[in-house]
Chains A and B, each alone.
Chain A
Amino acid sequence: MNIQYIGLESINGPIVFIKTPKNVSFNEQVEIILQNGETRIGNVISMDENVTAIEVYEGTNGINLEGTKTIFKGKPLSIKLSVDMLGRVFDGTGKPIDGLGNIVSNIERDVNGSSINPVSREYPRNYIETGISSIDGLMTLIRGQKLPIFSGSGINHNELANKIIKDSNIGNEEKFAICFGLMGAEFETAEYFKNSLKENGTLQKVVMFQNLSNDPSIERLLTPKVTLTCAEYLAFDLGYNVLVILTDMTSYAESLREVSTLKGEIPSRKGYPGYLYSDLASIYERAGMIRGKEGSITEIPILTMPNDDISHPIPDLTGYITEGQIVLSRDLYQQGITPPVDILNSLSRLMKDGIGEKYTRKDHGKISDQIFASYSKAQDVRALAKVLGESDLDELDRKYLEFANQFEERFLKQGADERRTINQTLDLALEILNILPKEELNKL
């Protein structure tokens, strides 16, 4: 039986301080029992001989100093795992909230996970056909990849995420699962995803962990960890191909900053803690494939760039960890081009080894290189056209404009119910490239 400690030293925001008891360990799971009998979970985040700091994931609202009891569980924060989690909804800490009762299982895992040994990884090469031309053709998603979506507030990134879930070919596989981590999501967003999953008939393949915007912000620190712990179990124990969607990573990073400031840590860029990179890496790097194991974890984190600024620490550090990024453009979105993928800013690093004769089509690499080169040139022409006026452009430049317009209208733009196979995508790309004279297509 664990010992209960009565009383706290102080409370500061979501962190409580207690006189250091004997044998408490760093990163140990804590149960806090309020005077009214309610229990909350916490974690030891720093300690010295006198004081131990505990972050309380459900917030410190209603906790008083005198009568509160603290129990140290003697193990790191862990959750119970079972295949029955599919189709269920949990809060951001992993407690069921759909009224269907607790998960019964004797498998319990540390939510912090451990890092995959680089020599045990398998290099991802198997592409996922999403049915979206811009992604399949130009920033191909590979099974086991971590490919974030960089968006801005007000842009329809949720629709894009939903389209990927609905139309991607792994969605039809039997051993397929989605682990959904919602952090600081609006109620509407959560409902949107739930409803569309229901419509697609995939709800039974989804494990949802939701922390809404009105839930305690500190709870968000735990959400991606429990989501990924569940994904690791499904993928590497049970052999599922798991798609992990985490939205919105910006809310997560903000909570991290909040706690860091309260701990009195020295802030780094824009007030975020110096360990933001390591912390984000501990989340993103849990994606991948392992040699000799069947399953895979493909991660699509979604983040809204504050003020659409891609050099903000959150997208910046994310881009250095993930294998590329899909950037959405407000300009395209306002022109009604959806999904508004800003292809020049986007990239899939694993694409080069997952396309070509063996996987997609022989000419895939050349076509995508040519599209990038030509579209980038077309942007220069557009800038020139703004100065000179379109009528003063020479014929070649006018062809570039025509190319760019058709590319956006016909290739990028794709209706909610329009799914294109990889062949359709590449043929369409070739057709649009043929607007340009042959001499200009030196990459084909």
Chain B
Amino acid sequence: MEQKKVTKINGPVIVATGEEDIAMHDMVYIGKNKLMGEVIKLEGKSATIQVYEDTSGMHIGEEVISTGGPLSLTLGPGLIGSVFDGIQRPLKAIEEKVGSFIQKGIQVNSLDENKKWHFVPSVSVGDLVQYNSILGTVKETESITHKILYPNFEEGKIIEISQEGEYSTNDIIAKIQSKDGKIHDITMVQKWAVRKQRPYKKRLQANIPLITGQRVIDSIFPITKGGTAAIPGGFGTGKTVLQHQLAKWCDADIIVYIGCGERGNEMTEVLEDFPKLTDPRTGRPLMERTILIANTSNMPVAARETSIYTGITIAEYYRDMGYQVAIMADSTSRWAEALREISGRLEEMPAEEGYPSYLPSRLSEFYGRAGRTLNNNGTEGSVTIIGAVSPQGSDFSEPVTQNTRRFVHVFWGLDRGLAYSRHYPAIDWMISYSEYVSNLENWYEKNVEEDFLEYRGKIIKLLNEENELQEIAKVVGQSVLSDSKKLILETSKCIREGFLQQNAKSEIDTYVPLLKQYKMMKLLIDVYELADELVEKGIPMSTIKQIGFFAEYSRIKNEKSNIEMAKIDELEEKYINELNNIEEEYKDFFKKG
């Protein structure tokens, strides 16, 4: 049959017409430069193709060659520590090939074919294997053991398995016979269609927190392993810094960081920082657990649209090995805009604000791929998705923020006002929420302290009261408020400045263990409650303020190192004693009357 030929070019979207039959989402190569593209619409003999590279220089009449299958990722050892573009081309290899500027039509392998890996088999001849059975292991980095998974859906019997030794990704490490008698050669890598979800046996409840070391997250708006969270915030509110903090400190085994349509320099920062930082749990460089996908804003728009899927498919692959994986997608708005841009080129009827009408279903599909799962090979893994949203003009009512909100369970809304006053992370406690708190009740009771959530509740209550009081104070001034209200204001100020604010640049404060978070909450609330009793008894606020607690509290986070948690207990004892002393003194005073 006659091959399809280019008949129309409009930026990154082209139309090819011809007799040849090609399928939806098939990957194609176009013209003499062999540009990569994907079929996104079929109509009669015409196929509409989005091209992953710059189409400058393309002619009408150039040939389109179908690969006969969808755009697929190459999954296997060597993924960790790599930097890929949106369609899994390794950027370092591209640099070696063509220098500092990306050229089009470059063909490079996603994984290094020459590198030898130390394979250790974990099955023997005669064993039965099914989809995702672990055939063997490879030490991918010091902290990550890569499990070689059986990629086929039909059951099979092992008729040959390689001995422990060094193999490259092209070497056959097993021969497996399926029921129909066919023999399959298995290497350490497998192909997986980028847009297809990887199956699992069962979804599990998300009831283990993803510990991030960030107080406002772990204690106030927690996220679970396998959970979904959105970070909406206008420019300059600190989305990226927060994403970096989470990528650095959260207790996932593997981080997939997707820089989707963001700044080149920000990716460079990650590339320079992560190899230098150490994972607090393993003591190894953070890069040994990180996979970066960088499709910066000036790289082709179609690859930007795909980068999100590339990221999540890689994450699911590691989940299938039994790892806890966290995805940071920065930013999903750029992805949505890529959808809009391509939709516009297709001349589709736009829905809200020019976005295509399938935006909500694409978003729900994406966030729906998160979760904690029992895998077919018996391991348990999870994929957590944390997506940044960049609403235009900081307006949270725009379509991407609104639709994302419907599909995520945690909402960390960033506020410009907080960012202005350098309150970081600028998570606005009045609009943010986490729907996982009740799921996590048991976990906190068992692993931290019984009354953890009680203290959390009290903190939130105080913040709400403060909000109301601030409204009143705006009209009448603070001085006319009663002493007990003043105490609330004073305590909430401590919550904001001493607890919620956290300095990413400070060595001590950048990561805070959960127990210290608990002790900080307890100290503040216990002192507040006693002070409140005293105020009720008529002891003036000015006397209570004299003990110096409120001034000292805001500094605790910077002064006490994470190990010396006993010091917080000491402080609590000290201030409770001082308050008790005041009460004694006043008892005499009241008696004398």
Contact = CB atoms under 8 A, between A and B. Distances in A.
B55 interface: yes
A118 B83 CA distance: 9
A109 to B, nearest CB: 11
B551 interface: yes
Contact of A383 (B15, B235, B347, B474): B474
A278 B55 contact: no
A24 B234 CA distance: 43
Contact of A118 (B61, B234, B271): B271
Contacts of B282: none
A359 to B, nearest CB: 14
Interface stretch (B6-14, B312-320, B439-447): B6-14
A138 to B, nearest CB: 11
A121 B265 contact: yes
Nearest to A383: B474
B299 A115 contact: yes
A312 B555 CA distance: 40
Given A117-B95, A269-B392, A443-B422, A350 B265 contact: yes
Interface residues of B, number: 76
Given A273-B344, A384-B477, A320 B298 contact: no
Interface stretch (A8-16, A202-210, A385-393): A385-393
A174 interface: no
Contacts of B272: 123
Interface residue SS majority, chain A:
mixed
Contacts of B417: 376
Interface stretch (B223-231, B333-341, B515-523): B333-341
A146 to B, nearest CB: 9
A266 B422 contact: no
B540 interface: no
Interface stretch (A80-88, A190-198, A333-341, A365-373): A365-373
B301 interface: yes
A145 to B, nearest CB: 8
A171 interface: no
Nearest to B57: A25
Contacts of A310: 393
A372 B94 CA distance: 43
Residue with the highest number of chain B CB atoms closer than 10 Å, among A112, A144, A277, A345: A277
Interface string B90-109: 01101100011111000000
B551 to A, nearest CB: 6
B570 to A, nearest CB: 22
A64 B417 CA distance: 57
B392 A285 contact: no
A372 B420 CA distance: 7
Interface string B41-73: 000000000000011111111000000000000
A384 B344 contact: no
Interface residues of A, number: 84
Given A117-B101, A320-B235, A274 B354 contact: yes
Contacts of B271: 118-119
A274 B337 contact: yes
Contacts of B83: 118-119
Contacts of A95: none
Contact of A27 (B55, B337, B348): B55
Contacts of A285: 263-264, 296-298
A392 B480 CA distance: 11
B350 interface: yes
A126 to B, nearest CB: 13
A200 interface: no
Contacts of A145: 265
B268 interface: yes
A24 B236 contact: no
B340 A268 contact: yes
B388 to A, nearest CB: 11
Contacts of A350: 265
A117 B94 contact: yes
Contact of A313 (B92, B392, B551): B392
Given A48-B60, A112-B56, A118-B271, A123 B422 contact: no
A267 interface: yes
A362 interface: no
Interface in B554-570: 554-555
Given A119-B83, A311-B394, A316-B393, A274 B265 contact: no
A33 interface: no
A27 B57 contact: yes
Contacts of B301: 275, 278
A22 B7 CA distance: 12
Nearest to B295: A118
B524 to A, nearest CB: 16
B8 A144 contact: no
A281 interface: yes
B21 to A, nearest CB: 21
A124 interface: yes
Across the A-B interface, the 9 shortest Cβ-Cβ residue pairs: A311-B393, A281-B297, A27-B56, A376-B421, A285-B298, A48-B8, A268-B354, A120-B100, A319-B235
Given A116-B102, A373-B423, 4 more contacts: A49-B60, A290-B100, A320-B235, A376-B421
23 contacts: A22-B61, A27-B56, A48-B60, A116-B264, A117-B101, A121-B268, A123-B269, A124-B265, A269-B354, A281-B298, A282-B298, A285-B298, A286-B298, A290-B100, A311-B393, A317-B392, A323-B265, A372-B420, A376-B420, A383-B474, A387-B475, A393-B477, A442-B497
Interface of B: 7-11, 15, 54-61, 83, 91-92, 94-95, 99-103, 234-236, 259, 261, 263-265, 267-269, 271-272, 294, 296-299, 301, 334, 337, 340-341, 343-345, 347-348, 350, 353-354, 390, 392-395, 417, 420-423, 474-479, 497, 505, 551, 554-555
